[in-house]
Chain A
């Protein structure tokens, strides 16, 4: 690993955000590089300095009392000055979706987003999750946690990391080259994502349990893919699982991918 590559990975390594293999490579480089080890020491010194020096402010008792008093009186909410402008529904739905995403982060919540009576909304929330996850992965420096073009390497990696293992799909003959896999949060669940490359386009395949939100509806089951924020999404059932493909491929190519998935064993 050269210094330039190591430099971009130094902070993620320091923050414990890299997979073990990459982290070991970075640490090996740092051990033999004066510049990088000085940078690493600086990060450590900054962290320790902040831990030691920065005051952690505790909530005063008066605030606890105020909150308790507000909680006790039912008329609490109207006392808040009304917002100048009402949020429009889509904005609110997006916010609720991201709050849900945040809420479900560190715990493997096995609950679907909402009850079955709100199928349409929960499908929208699921689509929102899929689109955000795809865009976030594209923006990140590493969109895969386990880089490998070998499906027999990628599949076992998911064992114990997600509720349902992804199928070992071989799409290479259709021009979809496997880049690797990652774990992401969709609909409040930890799911496997298989990442493929098709020409210049990245295709994320999300493998969800069949009982996941959106499964009850026919969204994405139609022949034409759904479009959200310029991305195409298509859903297929593969071996008793729910697979969503998300990409900026054009609708025809997405539909063709849908055909391939539908024929997968």
Chain B
């Protein structure tokens, strides 16, 4: 249960970097995937993950064993936020205000579809990629963490530093927006 590196806190920083590299390497694809979905660009995703790695080395002492993937993904996400602020000068794209006000008001209501109709989704699901990419970042990340990374509500809450109740309402809204956007594409 105890990670093998637990007693290396006195090691020089180059060893620390190697230790973090071994720690995050199994989760490098997950990190790149998250960054790629958030930043929507190959080059930016690679830069973000690289910078996140350097940041992880600096924060190495804050990792004390346990779920390395959640620890590492939280750093990737923070790095993404910093990166957005630096490149665009804009406020955080995941800020609550945007999440709360970004509208789905102009989307038609989900008029209630039968399970048969809905099974149709998976056949023409390629459009989903586009729809997920079009979601505001705050909703995009939460549905990815749940459906792709399969994190629990509590893990997501800790990663995003929000209450579990917020995770639940934000996730429900993300799903609702996807469903409505999908219904709109179906020409309703």
Task: Annotate B119-138 by CB proximity to A: 1 below 8 A, 0 otherwise.
Answer: 10110011111001000000
Q: Which residues of A contact B45 (CB under 8 A)?
A: 57
| Known contacts A17-B153, A46-B175, A63-B28; A103 and B165 CB within 8 A of each other | no
Cβ–Cβ contact B62 & A96, under 8 A: yes
CA distance A135 to B161 in the complex (A): 12
A55-B50 contact, Cβ under 8 Å, with A11-B168, A136-B163 = no
Partner pick for A107 among B1, B18, B148, CB 8 A cutoff:
B1
Interface of B is mostly: helix
A111 interface neighbour in B21, B65, B163, Cβ under 8 Å: B65
User: Which of A75-83, A193-201, A230-238 lies at the interface with chain B?
Assistant: A75-83
A58 within 8 A of B: yes
Q: Is the CB of A50 within 8 A of B57?
A: no
Please, which residues of chain A bring their CB within 8 A of the CB of B55? 80
For B17, the chain A residues whose CB sits under 8 A away are 70-72, 74, 76-77
Do B71 and A139 touch across chains, with their CB atoms under 8 A apart? no
Q: Cβ of A70 and Cβ of B163 under 8 Å apart? A: no
Residue pair B129, A46 in contact (C-beta under 8 Å) = no
Tell me if A239 counts as interface (CB < 8 A to partner B): no
Q: Which chain A residue shows the least CB distance to B116?
A: A41
Q: Known contacts A46-B179, A103-B67; is A56 also within 8 Å of B148 by CB? A: yes
CB of A15 closer than 8 Å to a CB of B = yes
Interface check B5, CB cutoff 8 A: no
Question: What residues of chain A have their CB less than 8 Å away from a CB belonging to chain B?
Answer: 11-12, 15, 17, 35, 37-38, 41-43, 45-60, 62-64, 66-68, 70-74, 76-77, 79-80, 83, 95-96, 98-111, 113-114, 135-136, 139-141, 185, 188
User: Do B157 and A56 touch across chains, with their CB atoms under 8 A apart?
Assistant: no
- Asked whether B168 lies within 8 Å of A58 as measured between CB atoms, the reply is no
> How big is chain B's contact interface, by range?
35 or more
Whole-angstrom distance from the CB of B11 to the nearest CB of chain A?
A: 12
The complex places the Cα of A37 from the Cα of B116 at a distance, in Å, of: 12
Q: A113-B64, A136-B157 are in contact. Are A54 and B132 (CB under 8 A)?
A: yes
Verify B114–A38 contact, CB threshold 8 A.
yes
B1 & A47 in contact (Cβ 8 Å cutoff): no
> Is A12 within 8 A of B168, CB to CB?
yes
6 of the cross-chain contacts (CB-CB < 8 Å) are A63-B32, A67-B21, A77-B58, A135-B163, A136-B157, A139-B166
Residues of A within 8 A of B1 (CB): 107-110
Contact residues of B between 35 and 59, Cβ < 8 Å to A: 36-37, 42, 45-46, 49-51, 53-55, 57-59
Specify which chain A residues have a CB less than 8 angstroms from the CB of B171 in the assembled complex: 11, 15
A11 near B164 with CB under 8 A, answer: no
Write the chain A residue with the least CB distance to B51.
A80
Which of B58, B74, B146, B164 has the largest number of chain A CB atoms within 10 A?
B164
> Are B66 and A54 in contact, with the CB atoms below 8 A?
no
The 8 Å CB contact of B146, one of A15, A71, A76, A140, is: A15
| Contact present for B54 and A77 (CB under 8 Å) | yes
Q: With A58-B32, A67-B21 in contact, is A53–B126 under 8 Å at CB? A: yes
User: Are A57 and B158 in contact, with the CB atoms below 8 A?
Assistant: no
| Distance to closest chain A CB from B149 (angstroms) | 10
Tell me the complex Cα distance, A72–B16, Å: 10
Residue B147, interface by CB 8 Å: yes
Residue contact B32 to A107, C-beta cutoff 8 Å: no
**What is the chain B residue whose CB lies nearest that of A108?**
B1
Instruction: Give 6 new A-B contacts, CB below 8 A, not counting A46-B175, A136-B157, A140-B168.
Output: A17-B152, A38-B114, A53-B128, A99-B75, A105-B158, A139-B164
Nearest CB in chain A: distance from B89 CB, A: 12
In the complex, what's the smallest C-beta–C-beta distance from B157 to chain A, in angstroms?
7
B129 x A55 contact (CB < 8 A) = yes
